[in-house]
Structure 1
């Protein structure tokens, strides 16, 4: 794409070469980037490209790489106001500092970045420090240095700014891309490694690492006398407290602008008037926030402003060459070069018009940027058009530059597809963690627990106890009659938190005897009914013959490759499950269950496309009109390039339009229909329905559910649910219901920051202004229709410049649709609405939600509402308010505490379980089961359901119970070795769950990496686990130490022992004695006595290991010989 033959080219070269400031006009988004490329080449200088908004900058960055293979660095701004007592986004700061210190060739910066104050470059050199292999530094000195730089000690390092010290290992997450692990020998650094902050495993050795200050200032060792009283008090409580950045002017006076880092750059403005208008607007907002915060006594007076003013920025830019890329002339335009570039018409998937347009441009350089290259190539080839260069789709709009004979067409012109917002921050990748990692520390002292053998008790804590001079960690549980049970901590897998009674306290079990077993037997009889009904329905479905869809077509592959994101592992598994179901002759009836915003709709769309390209119709039924409109827009946009006709059937459509849709369904003209319950009318007829997708089926009424059952004959069905299914219930239903679970969120999602408190106008105002300043949008949830218009007036007074619209279920169809569409198109800043948005509204640009009187909403409802934001890669915020001075009920307080506590990605499971604890189990599987679940707890109930299903299916599954190793030896995990008591509980649980030697070796290897050399007491613990694994594989149930012997309880009869005995090692046989167990013994048929007098634990370990190994080997040989007879 060359501009050399254009009439303006010589003038462009002359002005750039003479380093004059000038203006270019008549530009499209694409021509701006083309000119930026030329400015860079001609000036041979680095470029600072300033845009008015963050999204503009991100889109330009992405397009530069696709169109011209030019890599630009984007510098984000801080989304948190510098006058609010909130901690800024550390990942934004990391990006900012990395870009400024590297000074890359092209830097793209939103206008707001010009206003931010940064430390001088020398600040990092003088206050940071370097660590090298071979350096000598004590861990205490390292700790002091890190604390001085603002780092905080943590149990496990997962975020920037955290560090931990465990034995000879120190982990630090600096402003580097990855955290570092430093291994010491005494005070000497012997190794430095980068590690993965999710898996905690080391990934790369390095020779040295730089540790930079986390803040823009360093706190004095002692607060100085001239600090305001309130600030001094805060510092005495905590050094780097939440929001200390507000007071940066007290601790560093030498702040600079980004231009001080980028001194020899050419400044290129994207619409200079808009840039400085934005700066002026933000400046007014910042000044207002500061004055309001002072007036309300939220902050102390500052020494100087935390931002550069518009006039200061203009002074800073005075010495730079400045080039403005404008649509129109501005007041300060001196030299003006006009470029004749034009946007191209929207063809809206009418490919004959595209072909006609391109045919008239035969001597042009034609580029088509599309995500549907094969499809477009194939269609244009039919019109004899081949001289086209194809690229991936870009954000820029299509452009024609007649003088240069250049044409660019994008998906925007081809298919009228709108571009999505792009990610801003560098964030952590989410990796699914085992549920116990999240939940084991939920077991708190004084709470009810369930032991697999002894039943419901009260957990009394983890204590270290000494028996015969040997130390171990024990879990203590109290049962009925104050009886206490002490179990070794490595048997923690026998324990789970009791769930299921709400505010009703469960009855404590009696230790010993048959109390617990009798309770489980009674519950199991009741469970048989539900298991039988589920099995009967499943079997009947499997016996029917349905549609067998063809394997994926090339069109299917192209459609899937056009997906703009990377599928998560769970999405891929769900997609493969569905395709397998569809290609079989058995009718599919699959549930896709996933947390809010985890990509269920994309999975379903793959199935829809497969059905339509197999010449079948698809129906999507949803419980609300808002959700119907959202799905309709998403599916239409996705399928438009393939000529698939998607129609909407709900109250947003007129009677005439609805009749037309019904006619198109009957004739087959409509390929996909998205509908509410209107789809269930008797007059709805399909020409050839092949797939039904049901979203949130549990929200339909009884009558509608009965109607839906009529569909479940021979067509394929996908049900989608955002209500999380606990893994225990999922496992119990596997084999009788086809379920795909999506637990992993999309890549680079950030947890939503959640605030809970009394209604506060200033906080609300700041939250809204902060969101609007970053070009975002706000949901304001106000759930009283009768006064919502009055509240709108109050809200408008608070933020006069914001565009506010009201949305609720009592608006007529046209009004509500207009509001939703306008909000989707960013023509509205704040949507003041009721819970009508609870399901379905997906606006990636809306990343703040304010919930009025949140105490009146249920926990699951709050979680769904919070899920309306955080659906892009921006940091999202949720504010839950309740009335001032209101005394909250216990249940409301627990709900708000839970929504504040559970902010990690994929918290839906824990939210659902906490809701169970607050409200009781209720009708999770039907109200009839409520009482039975209370008796045993949710997890045990699911386990009994799983066993019953297996028995009814004729699957004789004998559960393998891990052997119990009861040998008195000092064996425990020290707190100081792993860093904390909480981490110790997690590691005990991991050990308890080990199934084989490979898993154990993985944990041991990880421990050596994370916690350094393994102490003797942990080595003993590992040996006990090895004995447990070997004993379990040898069918041994219990190994118990007594005064003179180690007693090994076996399932062997005397006859079996006689056959086995010759296969054992002679040295081992000399040390053991076989005897039959007493008849009353429930632990085994026989006992092998191992002499343990005057023998060390290591010797005992070797003897037992050899014995168990030989028994396992001998049993295997015996079975092979017996089967060969």
Structure 2
């Protein structure tokens, strides 16, 4: 059956036509788009134009046919949520969106999902063991902490689940087997958000691992591949009931039959996107190619791959035609209907594109729009301008107003159609003209936008503190005893009650048991532990090292404060953004600003307008948009008549920034130039002359800008990018230039929050921690080099029109890798780049690669710093074990920066044994990927890339002496002390901690929090609580996450709170038992001796001062009285000590 062509259906207007078709047709609608990005745009357009229609999506798997990796669980969970929803009757009209790739793939039969959903409601009953079995059978995996779709955790009467297709995970609170409450919660903070009455649990995998499915798989596998294939790792895993990466590619073996998406939609009207036919042909060819490649005999050392015949998992052309012949079929086309051609006229056409080619937004764009709007008005059409976000809608409104054009904002399509000119929020790429309306997109006016969904701001600090803290075997630093090794958590009986203690090993196998409530005496040493020796318990070496370090850090702090104070005395030109031109410049930014980015820009504008020299550090992870902050600052400085110098560490980065700055400043009265090795001598002389006479406003360059031969007519802003990559001498030159001009430094080095606090007011800092991309943007695979997998990866990228970075550690490795690539993908075009190439040659290579003349750039790590090539979305690093963690992290940040998902393969030779350190680095990379909080995670681990250079090069040596956390703490203390900040604990307060023994059980029972790393992380967070309000919040969080507090945890929170009060009062030791209580003061001294004596005399002998200066109460007291009495005593002592302060 041939399709009826719907002409005049440009993108955007096709959503309106689909909605109209849904209103006419009795059954559901199924529409197949070209790809996932198009499906997402169409879904957004439908929810705008027809909010009453239910829109469901079935995305395709995001892996190649016959891949070794599984599809993304979020994607699979959306597919299954839709398939199960289709088995339920719809109350109203329903449109199902899918892609050609998804429609050509078979799906599990309907009966599989019919009994697999389970509704849970408040007041209902559920047995945790039954629920766990149901979850395991339906593809869920048990986790310590639930963060991703398809994970669940059972903690006594609390069960956390991230259901298929849900936006957030849910928390069930049980009383016995009855569900008392159901709450959704934020996976980043683990705190509850909203209360629900019910929710539906659906399978999270298309592969079920119940007994019947496993038996079916085993039989089918042996029939297809023979008895010898029973040694295959995949077969063995499934036989044992364990999931295996990539097992979804054998999904037909788990089911008795397979169906198509159309089987779920009987009586549906089907429509196809423009160019769907071409996509189908390419997909069928790809399936055949990959099947043939997988059938090929493996090379030596490679695991054989046993692919299913294509017809089992995919439709062929005949199957596709048969599926589409069951009901009405339409094919959409954006073009007008030629005369005498059969088909339907949809009445739309693509709208005009106002922006000039190249994306520059000249001022005439809005004049053109105004003239065109008048013509449309004459034709009886209303104008609708669509902006990507609310923020850009406000900006467009201002720009239109400034150009004398009035458009009112409308929140929905119904209201937009009532206004002569309306501004709406809708992510549409191109506009259209149809019926009585003309819609113009932001992209039509301002050039390419890059659509990104709004991100929930990740407040993952405390959560990651739990996930990544001290592990058994890690080096730790005790304030009093120095460097030891953490050897696990033990429960000891202390004064007759169970007590959790951390066991620490020291030199000579000495052991120290540290009570958990004193955990703040402990800090992590850091990851770089090679050559570090343990201290001797009771030895003097540690105290000497610590004292030496204290004096050095004090000197450093005073220097920092002196420099900061000197800068505050200087004056700088007040700069403000020019009205009108500023909005237009901002509107050229093709992304939606993230929350943090907007805050950083506001900080910079405030600094520039303050009349004092700015010295701000913008700190953000790779790809988080720091360059945009620099562009806005440069715009303000240049338009205020000053010169701007942008200094970068490499010629490649200089070339990239020069291009970015030139494009953004096009059409403005600002001249941009470049000075680096890539510029000819003649051109460099002209640039130097232009800087000296002031004709050049913005210059981008390497350290060549720092030479004495370069003079500026009026340099007012210095931007330093990736400062951590500069050498010592260049840093000194930068420091000398800083004195009385505005300085903006950009770094991808994650700065720990503690260090940020330490430097408050010394160096202003803005942190961009909100990622602009999906949390799982770059999927990271860590494995020995496998030619089949790498070929797949490279082919995947080529087939989707992208490019690949292939990185090796040394120049001499390039030749061998080039030969290997030629064997694996002879059809790919490869070019090489490295630091020894002549500047002109390097420029040529990078330009040609950037222009798409090559598929693979094979290079050393010169691509590490800041390069931005959105077409590059696959990265292969060979000999990943030879790279530092920071380098790997930066390299991975180079991919996944456009609209496509990024893939990173970190490989090493199959027969090569990894060192322990290399294995640890690669494991951390996997963790960073899983949590998608690279910035926050790294901020707990400054040494992820060696000690940063925030304070100068010598600090790395200092950090090695006392460990990273203690170093930061000492620096914070020194800065605070020098600035005599009130309300901060003085540094000598850090050197002791109250010891409290009340004979109470103090611990987090294993039955309450089973996961040891989570338990230890909670101890660290509880030890760091600084107020009663924080303690109450912590208690609320524990109840929320784990259930009612056991007595032992109540005791722990009370003891930590009591410790705070003891420190304030100067009480170093407090011990209580059935017969009484003893308190000892720090240094055997009390701040108000006279007040103490007076108070003692008023107690009538109940409290006595012993000859050893300790206070004693002799009376019988039970456990509850001990805690109450201890609090009363310490509160009284605090009051008396406070009277001395007041006096």
TM-score (norm. length: structure 2) = 0.84
On the 8 A contact 2:781/2:905 being kept in 1, the answer is yes
TM-aligned CA deviation for residue 993 of structure 1:
1.2
* TM value normalised by structure 1: 0.86
Deviation sequence 1:539-579 (CA, Å, 0-9, x none): 33332221222378565467557766565554455334333
Map 1:797-946 → 2, pairs under 5 A: 798-799=824-825, 802=828, 804-809=830-835, 820=846, 829-871=855-897, 875-889=901-915, 891-903=917-929, 904-907=931-934, 916=943, 933-946=959-972
Task: Name the SS for the 2:312 alignment partner.
Answer: coil
For residues 1028 and 435 of structure 1, the distance between their equivalents in structure 2, rounded to whole angstroms, comes to 24
> Are 1:100 and 1:262, in contact at CA under 8 Å, matched by a contact in 2?
no
- CA distance, structure 1, for counterparts of residue 292 and residue 1102 of structure 2: 85
What is the CA distance between 1:1071 and its match in structure 2? 7.9
Structure 2 residue aligned with 1:118: 107
Q: How far is the alpha carbon of 1:428 from its aligned partner?
A: 7.6
Task: Report which stretch shifted further, 806-815 or 737-746.
Answer: 806-815
Q: For the residues of structure 2 that align with 1:30 and 1:136, how far apart are their CA atoms?
A: 47
1:78 aligns with 2:61: yes
**Match for 1:221 among 182, 202, 211?**
211
Q: Does 1:207 align with 2:197?
A: yes
CA RMSD of aligned residues (A): 4.2
Equivalent-residue separation in structure 1 for 2:315 and 2:2 (angstroms): 26
Judging changes above 3 Å, is the alpha-carbon distance between structure 1 residues 646 and 293 closer, same or farther for their aligned structure 2 residues?
A: farther
Cα distance in 2 between the residues matched to 1:537 and 1:790: 51
How far, CA to CA, are the matches of 2:731 and 2:957 in structure 1? 26
Correspondences of 1:14-413 after superposition (within 5 Å): 21-24=3-6, 29=11, 47-62=29-44, 74-81=57-64, 83-102=66-85, 105-175=94-164, 176-221=166-211, 223-224=214-215, 226=219, 227-228=221-222, 229=230, 230=232, 231-263=234-266, 264-288=268-292, 290-292=294-296, 297-300=303-306, 302=308, 305-326=312-333, 335-336=342-343, 344=353, 346-347=355-356, 348-352=360-364, 355=367, 359=371, 362-364=374-376, 365=381, 368-369=385-386, 371=392, 372-374=395-397, 376-378=399-401, 380-381=403-404, 390-391=423-424, 395-397=428-430, 409-413=440-444
* Distance (Å, rounded) in 1 between the aligned partners of 2:1118 and 2:1095: 26
- 788-797 or 45-54, which deviates more: 788-797
Match of 1:719 among 722, 745, 748: 745
Q: Which residue of 1 aligns with 2:1103?
A: 1073
| 2:1025 paired with 1:994 | yes
Contact 1:157 1:171 in 2 (8 A): yes
Deviation at 1:93, TM superposition (A): 1.4
Tell me which residue corresponds to 2:458. Answer: 430
Match of 2:506 in 1: 479
What CA deviation, in whole Å up to 9, does each residue of 1:187-242 have, x standing for no partner?
22232222222222222333332222222243332743625324552234443333
8 Å contact from structure 2 (residues 353, 445) kept in 1: no
Deviation larger for 436-445 or 713-722: 436-445
Q: Does 1:699 align with 2:721?
A: no
Alignment-derived partner of residue 631 in structure 1: 657
Correspondence for 1:755: 781
Give, in whole Å, the separation in 2 of the partners of 1:936 and 1:519.
8
The offset of 1:1108, in angstroms, is: 2.6
Post-superposition offset of 1:752: 3.4
Unaligned runs of 5+ in 2: 87-92, 223-229, 409-418
Once residues 375 and 943 of structure 2 are traced to their aligned partners in structure 1, the CA distance between those partners, rounded to angstroms, is 69
Q: Judge conservation of contact 1:506–1:934 (CA < 8 Å) in 2.
A: no
1:40 and 1:773, CA in 2 relative to 1: closer, same or farther beyond 3 A? farther
Give the CA deviation at 1:718: 0.6
Counterpart CA distance in 2 for 1:216 and 1:916 is 41
Cross-structure match for 2:225: none
- Distance verdict in 2 for CA 1:393–1:677, change over 3 Å: farther
Q: Could you say what secondary structure the match of 2:404 adopts?
A: helix
Matches of 1:901 and 1:293, distance apart in 2: 35
Q: Take 2:536 and 2:1097, find their aligned partners in 1: how far apart are those partners?
A: 45
How big is the shift at 1:464?
A: 0.9
User: What is the rounded CA distance, in whole Å, between the counterparts of 1:562 and 1:529 in structure 2?
Assistant: 46
* Secondary structure in 2 matching 1:740: strand
SS at match of 1:255: coil
3-state SS of paired residue (2:1044): coil
2:170–2:183 CA contact under 8 A, matched in 1: yes
SS in 2 for 1:239: coil
Whether the aligned pair in 2 keeps the contact of 1:25 and 1:336 (CA below 8 Å) is yes
Offset of residue 592 of structure 1? 2.0
The answer to whether the Cα contact below 8 Å between 1:623 and 1:700 also exists between their aligned partners in 2 is yes
Q: By how many angstroms is 1:462 displaced?
A: 1.2
Greater shift in the superposed pair: 699-708 or 81-90: 699-708
Equivalent pair of 1:430/1:748 in contact (CA under 8 Å): no
Gaps of 5+ in 1: 1-18, 1079-1085
What secondary structure sits across from 2:873 in the alignment? strand
Q: Distance in 2 between matches of 1:814 and 1:23?
A: 52
Distance (Å, rounded) in 2 between the aligned partners of 1:888 and 1:971: 42
Q: Name the CA shift for 1:829/1:728 in 2 (closer, same or farther; >3 Å).
A: same
1:231-260 Cα deviation digits (max 9, x unpaired):
552234443333332332221133322222
User: Do residues 1103 (structure 1) and 1125 (structure 2) align?
Assistant: yes
Range with bigger deviation, 995-1004 or 946-955: 946-955
Q: Is the 8 A contact 2:174 2:181 kept in 1?
A: yes
Quote the offset at 1:453 in angstroms.
1.9
1:450 aligns with 2:477: yes
Task: Compute the displacement of 1:865 (Å).
Answer: 0.7
SS class of match (2:821): helix
- Residue of structure 1 aligned with 2:821, choices 795, 806, 811: 795
Matches within 5 A, 1:556-571: 556=582, 567-568=593-594, 570-571=596-597
Q: Is the Cα contact below 8 Å between 1:430 and 1:747 reproduced in 2? A: no
Q: 1:968 to 1:252 in 2, by over 3 A?
A: same
Distance apart, 1:716 and its partner CA = 0.3
Number of aligned residue pairs: give it. 1084
C-alpha distance in 2 between matches for 1:187 and 1:405: 60
* Structure 1 match to 2:226: none
